[in-house]
Chains A and B, each alone.
Chain A
Amino acid sequence: MTPTPAALAPPTLAIDVHDLVKRYGPRTVVDHFSLAVERGRICGFLGPNGSGKTTTLRMICGLLTPDGGSGTCLGHDLVRHRERIKRETGYMTQKFGLYEDLTIRENLEFVGRVYGLDRLKQRVDQSLDRLGLTTRQSQLAGALSGGWKQRLSLAACVLHEPRLLLLDEPTAGVDPKARRAFWDEIHSYAAQGITVLVSTHYMDEAERCHEIAYIAYGELMARGAALDIIRHSGLSAFVATGPGADRLAIRLRDAPGVTAAAAFGATLHVCGPDREALMRAIEPFGNDPAIVWQEAEPTLEDIFIHLMGTARDNAPGA
């Protein structure tokens, strides 16, 4: 093999993209985005709606041609070796992408045939067994509930034993139990050495990832393990408990020095980038003896809301 950039890339990286750019007309949806993910890792891909997560995932799996930048996916060039990437990657679309008018089994068989898999029947049987859908295999996929649809999509994605999974908001609108089952499956695939890049809006899911990439308005804003991101965020946070603490949220939300003030049940959570300013902001409410203020660790959500606020908004209304 000739030493292409692909061959020279560190072999431990499943995804290695640099300066990816995607424009739609005058709008830059993805702006010089770089990301490296090591093999066997679960990387959570977070960011507000319209921040370019789906576009980035589509560029990585060869569904979209980048307008700029380069990179490799599983060692294959993003643009030139699209077919190879498609063969070795499982991409799960945000919207249910299987055929609702085919049965569960027929869908899996279709996917298996497209990839030209051998021992098709056996693989489909195994997949159904693993899903626990063997008894329902002749039901139409359209008749499945949201959680089951997502699990079926995931099963279809991994049928050809890909080395990389790209999951686009796989658990949106799925109940907690099904989400937990879904994430258990993701972890079991990672344990087999499959790399996973998964976009999500759920913070608890972000914490189940080995690492996180936060994108806002097409730019990478934060990167690393959840704990590291929290530790290095530079944000301060306070929690108020006591009767009526949650009602202070509205009054504190727009105070100077406060990034976010949110009620969680009866408690109030406030955060800001500058500890002194934050303390000044909450001082007027510190005299109430019924309310106890305590310094706390900022949450991932705090950090992302803060990052969103500081992100350059080049696409109003996006």
Chain B
Amino acid sequence: MRWLVARRGFWARLGAIIVKEVLQLGRDRLTFAMMFGMPIMQLLLFGYAIDTDPHRLPTAVIAADQSQITRTVLSALANTGYMSFTHRPVSEEEANALLQRGEVQFVVTIPSDFTRRLVRGERAQILIDADATDPMAAANPLAAAGPAINQALARDFVGPLAGLRDRPDAVELVVQRRYNPEGKSRLNIVPGLLAVILTMTMVMMTALAVTRERERGTMENLLAMPVRPIEVMIGKIVPYIAIGSVQVIVILLVSWLLFDVVIEGSIPLLSAGTALFITVNLAIGFTISTLTQNQLQAMQASFFMMLPSILLSGFMFPFRGMPVWAQWLGEALPATHFMRIVRGVMLKGADLGDVSAPLVALVAMLLIVSTLAISRYKVTLD
């Protein structure tokens, strides 16, 4: 009997599952249409509709000039409530790196001759570099900064400096909006949508793929055949990785054509990050399907996953605008880390080093979730 069975193991069975899944996907026309219609609809919907106003944004300060007046300027900025001085880099390079990695929203630079020029009545400048990838997060702080500084200084202009009081523009604020000089919010929304759409479709599709087998009674038949959990899992996931990739291409093309969003950084890096994110989501979907009994439950569980991914990942509201507990929840979501990768690579031109932290976080999530999925998937009906 044994000689009748060709000695092709893993690959043949894996191939069998992949072929079967692709055929079934092709048969489910409605789902297929939804997977491509939904991203475009959401893109158009969300692309035009989001607004926010976060406070206490991390800010790096390079104060080359230490005086009573610079202290007044900095405390005026802090008192707007929009900035929180978290870093004191020693060089411009260090400050730029902080901005690039997204660790700070602003870099405030006070030149060494600031006080001297101000006292002399010359033109005194303060430079603010803003990470404008999320223009909503940057707009209000920048608008509030100039008036706040001049008002605070007016109180300090006593005695010999009283003459400066009548000059409302004694301090000139130079603002550089980095990465998104025109402050277009769609530039920020589009990468975020990538994360949200992938989470929504990928998690749900796989969650349903396994529960469907259970609900239709085909699981028992599948389990009675010599196919291993890992083969079922990978076999079910692979076709959706392909679908996810097509979704990404569709989103990026539409974004480019309609919103002029171009990719600043490396496309291979973006692709790798995206593939990783898709895989994490599929593994989560698979885990959900091992934890739920039917398709309805799987659907609900997927929504549980999706809502926070929309609300807490930094997509809907600037991440730093959220309370700390919400930020911690957000850190546990793959979408949050993917959002950082996409915004970094697409808008800031970040390189591998800049996005290594979120990449590592995604890999860790993948390992944890896959382990859970495989341990939950049973070869028996027990």
Given A82-B380, A93-B217, A117-B4, 7 further pairs, Cβ under 8 A? A64-B380, A64-B381, A87-B226, A97-B222, A114-B13, A114-B225, A163-B1
What mask results when residues 203 to 247 of chain B are scored 1 for a CB within 8 Å of chain A, else 0? 000000000000011101111111100000000000000000000
Closest chain B CB from A109 CB (angstroms): 8
CA distance A161 to B4 in the complex (A): 8
Interface residues on B, range: 20 to 34
Binds B, one of A99-107, A209-217, A277-285: A99-107
Which residues of chain A are near B49, meaning CB under 8 Å?
none
Given contacts A82-B379, A110-B20, whether A98 and B225 have CB atoms under 8 Å apart is: no
Interface residues on A, range: 35 or more
Which residues of chain B are near A269, meaning CB under 8 Å?
none
Contact A87 B224 (CB under 8 A): no
CA distance A110 to B1 in the complex (A): 20
Name B4's closest neighbour in chain A (CB-CB): A161
Give 5 CB contacts A-B under 8 Å.
A64-B381, A97-B220, A97-B224, A102-B23, A116-B8
What mask results when residues 156 to 196 of chain A are scored 1 for a CB within 8 Å of chain B, else 0? 00001101000000000000000000000000000000000
Which residues of B are in contact with A by a Cβ distance under 8 Å? 1, 4-9, 12-13, 15-17, 19-20, 23-24, 27-28, 216-218, 220-227, 379-382
Given contacts A83-B226, A110-B19, A160-B5, whether A101 and B12 have CB atoms under 8 Å apart is: no
Name A107's closest neighbour in chain B (CB-CB): B20
Name B15's closest neighbour in chain A (CB-CB): A113
Binds B, one of A25-33, A55-63, A287-295, A306-314: A55-63
Name A82's closest neighbour in chain B (CB-CB): B379
Contact A115 B216 (CB under 8 A): no
Query: What are the 4 closest A-B residue pairs judged by CB atoms, nearest first?
Result: A97-B221, A113-B16, A118-B6, A95-B217
CA distance A61 to B224 in the complex (A): 7
Closest chain B CB from A179 CB (angstroms): 21
CA distance A163 to B1 in the complex (A): 8
CA distance A160 to B15 in the complex (A): 17
CA distance A83 to B379 in the complex (A): 10
Check: A241 CB closer than 8 A to any chain B CB. no
Check: A148 CB closer than 8 A to any chain B CB. no
Contact A101 B224 (CB under 8 A): no
Closest chain B CB from A50 CB (angstroms): 16
Check: A91 CB closer than 8 A to any chain B CB. yes
